[in-house]
Structure 1
Amino acid sequence: MLSRNRLALPQMIILIFAALLAACSRGAENASSSSTYHGYLTLAQPEDLTPAQLQDGGLLQVVATTSIVADVVTNVGGDAIELNSIIPRMTDPHGYQLTPGDLRMLHDADLVFINGLGLEEALEQTLAQLPEDIPIVSLSEGIQLRELTSERTDTNADHETEAHADTGVDPHVWFDPLNINVWTDNTAQSLAALDPANAATFQANSDAFHNQLEDLHNWTLTQLEEIPQADRKLVTDHLLMGYFAQRYDFEIINALLPAYSSAASPSAQELADLQDSIRQSGVKVIFIGINSNRQIAEQMARDTSLAVVPLYTGSLSALNGPASTYLTFMQYNVRAIVNALK
């Protein structure tokens, strides 16, 4: 891997400005996105990566986009890598804007891991401008994806929501712990390709994390037994629990924001239709992201006599919080769902 010089501050500012302009001009261009759901990015496949040129004793420099991605990479890479995360904890990944420090971190990376599937759409233009010798790997490559249903695509939404509709897939794959097995394998294979000397360490860490994910899945099944089948119905702030519902046999009744992005805005007609579907379904709870705007949920709760229950959704909690790792993130959410619906 070739050596790289740090970006000067003026160059960083220019890149940020260019990314902001691009984010507002996507529109029809996204309609021709490729089947990999990353219209701006050229993604590297783990099997195609080649060893990085590390100095003696030097660690692989790795960047992850979200705190959830970073936690999985940490479990696999351990002390054999130096890992930085772009989007801070307790921050919604939809619409995050890069800082000059983020750009410097990306430029110094040997490898960048992303969730992919349009989740980091606000970052994609800048990621696409990184040097070709900095590979970008989507951890979600190989997951069986949930397609965006046709009735969800005709919505009154902003730029980001239109992009999710155009890609046609749900990016919130981490709500199914068994999907994280794919993330784990992609991480281990990618790290081993760039740093073969530590391949055995990465594989051992991967095996151990697979066991933890299997334990989490089995624990979740046991916890959810407390919820009667008739009550396994979810209303959320946006369409984010699809993989969870698919894995654990729940029904998605509706969402306050009829899109895969928390940045969407519902129309008056959509809110009226949502109230009707809630009343007909008999649900008693709205689940919203802890970092989400509660205004619409609280108004809907008043109008329909529902309780509002917060969940961690696109980010881990603070390090001293109740959802500071992926495993505790899922445990917190499962307990909250069980307590609300049992």
Structure 2
Amino acid sequence: MTTSRSARFRIPAIVVAAIGISSGLVGCSTADDTTFRIVTTTTHVTDFTRNIVGDASAVYPLLQANQSAHSFDPSAKDLLELSAADVLVISGAELEPWVDDALTAANFNGEIIDASTGITLLQSGETEAEHDHAAEEAAAEEAPADEHDHLHADGDPHIWTSPANAELMVTNITDGLVAADPENASIYTENADSYIGQLAVLDEWVTENIEQVATAERLLVTNHDAFTYFVSEYGITFVGSIIPEFDDNAEPSAADIDALVEKIRETGVRAIFAESSISSKLAEAVAAQADIEVFAGDESLYSDTLGATGSGAETYISATIHNVRLLDKAWGVEPLPVPEEIENA
């Protein structure tokens, strides 16, 4: 979905320093004036966008590997790029609460593409079927004037963890870019079709890998609550997370930790997974307390961010393959060969 700056965001009050930077950016440009310039937020959205545009347009990513989208402070250079951008692509679903201030500080006047448009938001541990049922019940109980309120309820913003959702995000980004830059429409649509084909192959490979494991043994414990759509898509039981919230900057209480350890012991979870963008110290401590294995360091899951250069998980597809291989290892099965179509994607 593409919207204008004024249509998509309310302009909030911002600090004087940010306004000062903004005033100095107006009229500045970091590239030739004829270049169609795209700025992206998260590493996932950046990867999707680059697969769509190829060499046709310039893409500037705000977030780098291992930076949290929940709390990000754009640099002066980031604001400069935003000020000159034709389009900003966001992950959406309220993942990036800092965007309003950044757009105001940069005096951004371009189009905003929200990659989350049309994607059903789920609560932690909820499946799409459960969400639909809950929505139906809520609609039946609400007065007619409130019949659409539930559509705006908060949910897990980590929508990309499901490859099926990733396909929808790519479609949304493509539609927005075609509308904003019709001159390159054929390039965007052709590249998008090719990439969506790769995502479909990835989805099938993930399904086949997960199905090697008995449903009752597909148990997952992570550093923070970020895999709602992945576990819903592939029939995995999300036992819990050390940080019991969607925000990776939140801190668990002692009671949260004790409750998680008890659930781990009750369910027979074999391992805890740290995440690449979060310190593994708590995961290691909980694993020691529960007397189970912990996957950390190079064996961390990629959730809020893709891997740095050289990690082997620099792209959405390679990071997803990395995650599934780790799950297979924890669940005691051998990962299936990666299809040739996505082996180096």
Q: Would you call these one fold, judging by a TM-score over 0.5?
A: yes
Partner of 2:166: 180
Count of aligned pairs between the two proteins = 282
Q: Give the Cα separation in 2 of the matches to 1:278 and 1:169.
A: 25
Name the CA shift for 1:257/1:270 in 2 (closer, same or farther; >3 Å).
same
Match of 2:41 among 45, 65, 72: 65
Instruction: After TM superposition, give the deviation of residue 240 of structure 1 in Å.
Output: 0.6
Of 247-256 and 113-122, deviating more is: 113-122
Instruction: Flag structure 1 segments of 5+ consecutive residues without an equivalent.
Output: 1-10, 20-54, 151-165
Partner of 1:260: 246
What is the root-mean-square deviation of aligned Cα atoms in Å?
2.5
**Residue 298 of structure 1 aligns to which amino acid in structure 2?**
E
Q: Does 1:119 align with 2:119?
A: no
After TM superposition, the structure 1 = structure 2 runs for residues 239-278 of structure 1, keeping only pairs within 5 Å, are: 239-278=225-264
In structure 2, the partner of 1:307 is 293
Q: Aligned match of 1:195 in 181, 188, 205? A: 181
User: CA 1:278/1:208 → structure 2, altered by over 3 Å: closer, same or farther?
Assistant: same
Which of 14, 17, 20 lines up with 2:17 in the alignment? 14
When residues 291 and 56 of structure 1 are mapped into structure 2, their CA distance, relative to the original with a 3 A threshold, is: closer
* 1:59–1:80 CA contact under 8 A, matched in 2: no
The separation in 1 between residues aligned to 2:166 and 2:193, in whole angstroms, is 12
Asked if structure 2 preserves the Cα contact closer than 8 Å seen for 1:16 and 1:99, the reply is no
Distance (whole Å) between structure 2 residues aligned to residue 17 and residue 235 of structure 1? 45
Return the alpha-carbon distance in structure 1 between the equivalents of residues 21 and 287 of structure 2. Answer: 41
**Could you tell me which residue of structure 2 aligns to residue 295 of structure 1?**
281
Q: Deviations over 1:202-232 (max 9, x none)?
A: 1111110110010000011111122222210
Give % identity.
Answer: 29
Q: Is the 8 A contact 2:19 2:105 kept in 1?
A: no
- Normalization by structure 2: what TM-score? 0.76
SS in 1 for 2:113: strand
CA contact (8 A) 1:286 1:301 kept: yes
1:326 and 2:316 aligned: yes
Unmatched segments (≥5 aa) in structure 2: 1-13, 23-30, 127-151, 333-345
2:60 to 70, 84, 95: 84
> 2:327 and 2:104 mapped to 1: Cα distance?
38
CA distance in 1 between counterparts of 2:193 and 2:125 reads 35
Structure 2 residue corresponding to 1:339, chosen from 321, 324, 329: 329
TM-score by length of 1: 0.77
Report the more deviating stretch, 224-233 or 102-111.
Answer: 224-233
